[in-house]
Amino acid sequence: MHDGIVLLKALLLSTSQRNIYRHTTDGRKRRRIVANAVGFAFLYLLIMAYCVTMCVGYGVLGMAEAVPALCALTLSALAFVFTLFKTNGYLFNFKEYDMLMSLPFEARTVAGCKFLCMYVKSLLWYASISLSMMVGYGVFAHPPVVAYLAWTVLFLFLPIIPMLAAALVGFLIAKLSAGFKKTNIVQTVLMFAFVLAFFSLRFVMDDLFRNDKVELVLGQMSAMTNDAARSYPPAGWFADAITRSDALGALLLVGVSVALFAIVFRIVGQSYRSINSALRSHAAKGRYHMTAQRRRSVVGAIAFKELKRMTGSSTYMVNGAMGEVLAVLLGVATLVIGFDKIVDTATQGAPIDVATLRPAIPFIVYFLIGMVATTAFSPSLEGKNYWILQSLPIEMRTVYQGKMLFNLCLTVPFMAFATVCLCVSAQVPVLDTALYLLLGLALCAFSTAWGCVCGVRHMRLDWENEVEVIKQGTALVIYLFPNMFVTMGLTVLVVFLGMRFDCRLVALAFTLLATALAALSYLWILRATQRDH
């Protein structure tokens, strides 16, 4: 027990941004930590506002008693999904594995502490949801003081069981895939399936809340929440402890969480060393064949190296290629279903002339393709290898050119496929299709160069887990949100301009604008590399 506390404290201190801020003398690093804190505080406030609004809706409809169960189900679902995505990087195949396993700790202690470290780092997200829903519940339900105390304590245990379930699933996947050379295939497929399921959930909800189904769904919402809570016992235990002051429910939630934690990591600990060893070192088997070596330019070699990094990391592949997968699905769907029917579904039958939406095709595709640029986080992924790169006889501008080449090779083919599919389905003329492809190419170039600007400007090399830069990095946030909202605005603007001017002139104007912005971003990168040297 004492060993676990010591190790957990060391892990938290070594990755704590507050601790780094206190001891670092690098002003740039301090400013980055402050900017991260401000950005996350803003996100927490948005989440809290959304949760309070949702609870107000429940309260107005007279369903305040269902809020505790809703809170428990929400936290449990998020904890399961987020943990499943992070397992292959926090618990398995993490970079400080050799150092930790050389310390005098049992394997299950290391695994348990890594799990608790992941739990503590996610606790602020869970707290922002839980405490804001507690406030919304209190406004309408007026529970006794003991209910607030129970809620504040018990929500700390709510994420543990789903996190343990996700960790156990990740353990089984890692155990099954440890014998294969491409260990990330199973994780990648599973993550793509989960993300696509969440995207498709939007259309399910859209169908439920359309027209006369709204009142029916709202009338059944409380019953649906309570049924789900009964199907998932921890949610029912939490709800009973809050609404009925049921001490047994509180004890069951706490006791089962602690007991399952001990059982799961006793199981994981038995194979922890062997799984990590297999994931980190896959000995090649079979016959060796000597073949001629392929010659590549330095830029091409760096792009190929980036491809190998992507295919070797399920986290990288899911975040870097999800937009491309969605673009392919959209393109195929328009060919099968029809552009007009998809527009009718998206606009819920609004009287819109489909022809007026044709100029927006490049931006619709770019909204998916440009969702994430690999150049926004690939500079940070070099980590400690960045200093090795600087010592090599390779200019940093060449390194960034290779990373940008990889992102272009990734995005342009998918962009072209989706654009052609949408243009064929929408019966766009050949000349207009060519212009839209040219505009899409310019947008991909801008996405690549601007993502690289964000990645270089907000590079973080002291990460402990690649999830910190691929999913949560400052560079990615700065690239993602402005790019997303600007693209949505430009989609509306290009439709508006297309109804008043020639669509081809509009496409050419936006192509020139995107090309100019891409060129400016590229020149900034060149100047930044010159300053570094």
Domain parsing of the chain, residue ranges: 2-182+214-280, 298-532
Residues of the chain by 3-state class (helix, strand, coil), percent to 5? 80, 0, 20
- Arithmetic mean of pLDDT, 369-391: 79
pLDDT of residue 379: 86
pLDDT of residue 473: 75
Contact 448, 358 (CB under 8 A): no
Residues in CB range of 215: below 8 A, 6 or more apart: none
- Arithmetic mean of pLDDT, 221-234: 61
Note if the pTM is more than 0.75. Answer: no
Check whether 211 has a pLDDT greater than 60. Answer: no
**DSSP structural state of residue 232:** S
Question: pLDDT by residue (tens digit) across 337-356?
Answer: 877 777 766 665 555 666 77
381 by Cβ neighbours in 10 Å (0-12 / 13-18 / 19+) ranks as buried
C-alpha 301/C-alpha 403 separation (Å) is 10
- Arithmetic mean of pLDDT, 200-220: 47
C-alpha 389/C-alpha 378 separation (Å) is 14
- Arithmetic mean of pLDDT, 95-119: 73
C-alpha 268/C-alpha 289 separation (Å) is 38
- Arithmetic mean of pLDDT, 97-109: 70
pLDDT of residue 225: 55
The two three-digit tokens of residue 318, written as one number? 């899911």
Residues in CB range of 391: below 8 A, 6 or more apart: none
| Least trusted range by pLDDT, from 151-165, 259-273, 433-447 | 259-273
pLDDT of residue 218: 47
Phi/psi for 351 (5° steps) reads: -75, 80
Check whether 269 has a pLDDT greater than 50. Answer: yes
- Arithmetic mean of pLDDT, 321-339: 84
Other CB atoms within 10 A of residue 124 CB: 13
Question: pLDDT by residue (tens digit) across 365-376?
Answer: 898 888 888 888
Structure-derived torsion over alpha carbons of residues 208, 209, 213, 214, reported in degrees to the nearest 10? 140
- Arithmetic mean of pLDDT, 233-257: 86
432 versus 231: which is more confidently predicted? 432
CA angle 91, 96, 101 (to 5 degrees): 80
**Closest to 438 (Cα-Cα) out of 517, 508, 358, 506:** 508
Contact 473, 380 (CB under 8 A): yes
Contact 167, 268 (CB under 8 A): yes
C-alpha 187/C-alpha 528 separation (Å) is 37
472 versus 250: which is more confidently predicted? 250
Q: Where are the alpha helices (DSSP H) in 338-395?
A: 339-346, 361-369, 378-381, 385-391
198 versus 438: which is more confidently predicted? 438
Percentage, residues of the chain above pLDDT 90? 8
**Closest to 455 (Cα-Cα) out of 377, 359, 366:** 377
| Least trusted range by pLDDT, from 152-156, 209-213, 494-498 | 209-213
449 versus 138: which is more confidently predicted? 449
Question: pLDDT by residue (tens digit) across 192-202?
Answer: 555 555 555 44
pLDDT of residue 204: 44
Question: pLDDT by residue (tens digit) across 149-189?
Answer: 988 888 888 888 888 888 777 766 666 555 544 445 555 55
Highest mean pLDDT among 13-27, 88-102, 140-154, 260-274: 140-154
pLDDT of residue 111: 76
pLDDT of residue 287: 46
Mean pLDDT (the chain) is: 76
C-alpha 344/C-alpha 351 separation (Å) is 8
Highest mean pLDDT among 10-19, 360-369, 458-467: 360-369
Check whether 295 has a pLDDT greater than 50. Answer: yes
**Closest to 507 (Cα-Cα) out of 411, 393, 363, 364:** 363
CA distances from 71 to 41, 60, 221, 237 (A): 21, 17, 14, 12
State the amino acid at position 523 in one-letter form.
L
pLDDT of residue 284: 42
Q: How would residue 441 be classed by pLDDT, with cut points 50, 70 and 90?
A: very high
Check whether 520 has a pLDDT greater than 90. Answer: yes
Buried residues in 56-86 as b, exposed as e (16+ CB within 10 A) = eebbeeebbbbbbbbbbbbbbebbbbbbbbb
Residue that has been written with the tokens 């050119």 in this structure: 401
DSSP readout, 29-44?
HHHHHHHHHHHHHHHH
C-alpha 1/C-alpha 281 separation (Å) is 31
Other CB atoms within 10 A of residue 409 CB: 15
